[in-house]
Amino acid sequence: MEVFIDKLIKTIIAISLVFMGIQVIPISKRAKIWNNCIESTVNYLESNEKLRLIKAPALQWMAISICNGNGAKNRPN
């Protein structure tokens, strides 16, 4: 009986690990897309002559805002 319970527990653990691994895949894909967005936006902002004087952390903050969808928006007066 103990052997059966041990095998059952090991099987449940293995299945749980597989399901957790499957759930991580979309998160890692989204993180890759996010990192590409930040990197390409920072590169674009650095290539802009008017923004070259801004230091790197500020450009990264701007890139994060743009990638979040909070970029330049028209605000009513």
Q: Tens-of-pLDDT digits for all 77 residues of the chain?
A: 788 999 999 999 999 999 998 998 899 899 999 999 999 998 988 888 887 778 888 888 888 888 888 765 655 65
Number of structural domains the chain divides into: 1
- Model pTM score: 0.64
Report if residue 6 sits inside a domain: no
Report if residue 13 sits inside a domain: no
Q: Which domain holds residue 49?
A: 31-69
How confident is the model over 19-31, as pLDDT tens digits?
998 998 899 899 9
What is d(CA 69, CA 33) in angstroms, rounded to the nearest whole number? Answer: 14
Angle 72-74-77 (CA atoms, 0-180°, nearest 5)? Answer: 140
